[in-house]
Amino acid sequence: MSQKKSIHFEISERKILLRLVDLFVVILGLYILQICIDFDYLTVNKNNIGYLIVLGIYITVFGTVFEIYDLQKSSKLDVTFRNIVLTASTSVLFYLLTPVLTPFLPERRLQIIYFYLGIIGMIFIWRWAYIVFVSAPRFYKKVLLVGEISNIENIIKPLNQSDPNYKIVGFINSEPKSESPIKFKGLKEFKSVDLLQVIKEEKISEILVASYNSETITPEVYHDLILLLDQGFAIREYTQVFEEITYRVPVQFVGKDFYKYFPFSRSNQNTLYLFFHRVFDILFSVIGLFIGVLLLPFILLGNLIANKGPLFYFQERVGQNGKLFEIVKLRSMIVNAEAAGAKWAEKNDSRITKFGVFLRRSRLDEVPQFVNVLKGDMSIIGPRPERSFFVNELSRIIPFYETRHIVKPGLTGWAQVNTRYGSSVDDSLTKLQYDLYYIKHRSVFLDINIVVKTLSTILYYRGQ
């Protein structure tokens, strides 16, 4: 069955496209300023290549911090404009304050305004074009879902939330007919006998097979899938697509053949990587504790006024390989907050003091944990350490939960920069999916990504 393939961009392609064109339009904007208004602060020529590279690095780094490469946010013009202004403002500020790496300030200060507005204007025009054209429905990847109807809602929701251009147009129930069939109204259902026709009429680019038990796929559907595969049609398995789009490992769909889904990163046993990881932990912790000491007078004052009681809070947590250790934090809850027993933290938790809310959202309550990092109980980056009470409870409910303990717990992690504070079993499942993704793909580049995204978390005040 041959058909004309529709044009669409994968997630990685769109992220690369955003970054590359951002840099291109900024350089184009500088060139336009240069020929139109006698702009000479940063001209586009071979003598200024180093200066242009520094500007590109600043825009890329701060663009990541202020989330202009987040695909969900990049599809909304108002959010995009706000993030572009924040990115340009911070990039230009750093550019002006690093004269060793950048040109000296121009005599005509008005050129700085041209420089600043030129960056904002060019990136915004390009991002408007991206939303109108690249993010338009004509470039959606149209997908047909084949799987058990009982799992469909849990399958489509995270994919739709993660990638606005990944469009599941309908589904085919792969299960044999039953006397009391389940109906799902959130997505159009097609008949299994019409699979080939649906692909042609709906211009489907990919089939997503989401069957927890492949034995439930009917012979008719199986035959058509084999026929399509022989013709080179894209047929993909759900867990692979889920991991690629959401950057999470869908542990709830991993069965007895779990070893197929957990080829853990070689970095977990790489001596050189672990050595530099430890050096980074020590250096970062020393800097963090130094900053904490500088802020200590203000923290003491806030604790005295709006958080009366002990400044520090000690609690037992589960570390690497299940080893228990005592974590230290700045106290953010009332004294004896768990006198009635351990319980989940909640949104607008009445146990959290007014000053405690600030400490949590600014992440200042985590500063004393640099001591735990220096002692080797924790790392800067890794899954957040949990209490043994909740570990025992969650391990009975969530598969592979204790797998997160094969690496050191961290001060920040992939789950912390991608989701909010967990306050339920469902939240813990989502966090575990992110934690396992980190363990599976652990690398220097992922660590750097987490550090940069942690800055976004702090700047946007996303702690609880």
Over residues 67-118, the pLDDT tens digits come to 899 888 888 899 999 999 999 999 999 999 988 889 888 888 899 999 999 9
Question: Pairing relation of β-strands 379-381 and 410-412?
Answer: parallel
Q: What is the pTM of this model?
A: 0.83
Amino acid at residue number 177? K
CATH architecture of 140-246: 3-Layer(aba) Sandwich (3.40)
Most confident option among 33-37, 143-147, 178-182, 396-400: 33-37
Question: Pairing relation of β-strands 235-237 and 166-173?
Answer: unpaired
Token reading at 87: 């990115």
Q: Which contiguous run of DSSP H or E holds residue 383?
A: none
Q: How many CB atoms lie within 10 A of CB 55?
A: 25
Q: Are 343 and 430 in contact (CB under 8 A)?
A: no
Q: Where are the domains of the chain?
A: 11-134, 140-246, 266-459
> 294: pLDDT confidence band, cut at 50, 70 and 90?
very high
pLDDT higher at 44 or 155: 44
Question: Pairing relation of β-strands 206-210 and 141-147?
Answer: parallel
Cα–Cα distance for residue pair 454/406, rounded to 1 Å:
22
- Could you identify the residue written with the tokens 């950048």? 102
> 264: pLDDT confidence band, cut at 50, 70 and 90?
confident
